[in-house]
Structures are given as structure tokens and as C-alpha cells.
Amino acid sequence: AQSVAQPEDQVNVAEGNPLTVKCTYSVSGNPYLFWYVQYPNRGLQFLLKYITGDNLVKGSYGFEAEFNKSQTSFHLKKPSALVSDSALYFCAVRDFGNTGGFKTIFGAGTRLFVKA
């Protein structure tokens, strides 16, 4: 079965420092991977996705993620964190099993705190 793991409930980083939010996945076949961010009282916002091609994917707000097939990881990164990046981040994988790819499975989320 497809699954997504975000091993850290919370990540703390100082403003200006690089940040990493970890994600590992388990899928059968080639993965479609996504990162979303959720701000309080707002819906999820799409950050970036990996379908095929370059392992380093660049997305919104200066975020990027690196697809590592051997480690089955898709960690979210940003070279220099901003206080405004503080939010809840979700990694997700598209399930291309019997459901035909319509079902997206989300991780439990990682809360990022960026301290000024």
C-alpha cells in the first residue's frame, strides 16, 4: 500500500538559516510526489511536485525538494528561512494503484517554526 511518512512533528530553525522538512514514501511504481503548506484557517496551498525528470524540483516561495529514489525520500528544503515560512507542511503521494491515480495520500504534517 502507498504511504507517506513525515518523521518530525516539528522543525525549529532560525531565520536566515537553511531548513529541511523530511518526507519518505512507499509506493508501487513510479511516484508522483507533492508538498503542500497550510496556514491557519486557510486551505492547503500547493508548493511543488515531482513527476519525472530532474531530481531537484523548484517550487513556490523559494522552496525546493530533492527526489531520492534509492532512499525513497522527498525532503523539502529552503536555503534561507523566513519567519513567514512558519506553517504546517504536508508531503503527499499520488496512489496509482487500483484507484487509477485519483487518490492522494498525505503525511501527518510537520509544523515549521522559524524564529526571528
Partner 1 sequence: GAGVSQSPRYKVAKRGQDVALRCDPISGHVSLFWYQQALGQGPEFLTYFQNEAQLDKSGLPSDRFFAERPEGSVSTLKIQRTQQEDSAVYLCASSSTGTGTQYFGPGTRLTVL
Which positions touch partner 1 (CB under 8 A)? 4, 32, 34, 36, 41-46, 49, 90, 92, 94, 99-109
| 34 vs 74 by CB, closer to partner 1 | 34
Q: Which is nearer to partner 1, 4 or 21 (CB)?
A: 4
Minimum distance, C-beta of residue 81 to partner 1, in the bound complex (Å) = 22
User: Distance between CA atoms of 31 and 33, rounded to whole angstroms?
Assistant: 6
Tell the smallest beta-carbon distance from residue 62 to partner 1 (Å): 19
**Minimal distance, residue 80 CB to partner 1, in Å:** 26
For 106, the grid coordinates are 498525505
Q: Which is nearer to partner 1, 24 or 104 (CB)?
A: 104
